[in-house]
Amino acid sequence: MIILCFENKGYFFEISDIAEFVKVERRKQRGSATLNTYDYILINIVKQLCKQQKKLIYLINSKNFKTILSNLIEVDAKISDYLFFLINCRFETDKEVIECVESVEKDALRDYYCGLNFSDNINNYKLIVHTTKY
């Protein structure tokens, strides 16, 4: 696994419309693209995490590199998990949203690294990419 920065690579905070991104990815899976109130609760969490991620990038310097990079990867992992759940699941109750948030808080980093081998569109936006190219 290698940390790379590609000129044409996108990052989560560069997605201009998170809701539209989720709809497009749902359509690709032949699912309903309709978003409900519960989806928008999670989408708003993703938006806040994207703002946090962008802020962390601006704060990074040689003195805080290790700490900020660790925080960036953690935020990236949470965004990735939330988007995965938004694309692949339907939330119909407050309880389901709470369970999703708890799951992301608990398992995001583990899921993040496991998911690097998947070929879904979410991986195109992760800070860390799995590649065989050097």
Tell me the pLDDT of the chain (134 aa) as tens digits.
444 455 566 789 999 999 999 999 999 988 788 999 999 999 999 999 999 999 999 999 999 999 999 899 999 999 999 999 999 999 999 999 999 999 999 988 887 777 666 667 777 777 776 555 54
Distances from the Cα of 27 to the Cα of 13, 16, 34, 45, 125, angstroms: 22, 18, 10, 22, 19
pTM above 0.85, yes or no: no
Q: Within 10 A of 33 (CB to CB), how many other CB atoms are there?
A: 14
